Amino acid sequence: MDQITVRDAVNAFADFMEPTSAELDAIEQEIPLILAEVDLLDAQIIILDRTPSELDARRLRRARRRVLAERAALATRTAAVSLPGGAA
């Protein structure tokens, strides 16, 4: 009797495991937002175990503003792409 190995199971779905060009383009568009969110997370981690100084609070506010700005920019880019003719 033939046995199905893990390798056979993985190879059967190999074509579906790779991201498509559209998915890679979407990820590339989201990179600025991802980086802004990483900066916000860094700012939040810094103040976890201590009382935030004025510099820490400023860094946190700046990171939050950057995340909001990148979310708005991503929404604008996504809306411009999805509308016919590229009109927003």
Per-residue pLDDT tens digits for 52-81: 999 999 999 999 999 999 999 999 988 877
For residue 71, what are its two tokens?
A: 């979310």
3-state percent helix, strand, coil for the chain, nearest multiple of 5: 80, 0, 20
| Mean pLDDT of the region 32-60 | 95
Tokens 């590339």 sit on residue: 28
> Residue type for 32, please?
P
CA distance 56 to 71: 23
Q: Which two tokens stand for residue 3?
A: 């046995």
Predicted confidence (pLDDT) at residue 12 exceeds the cutoff of 70: no
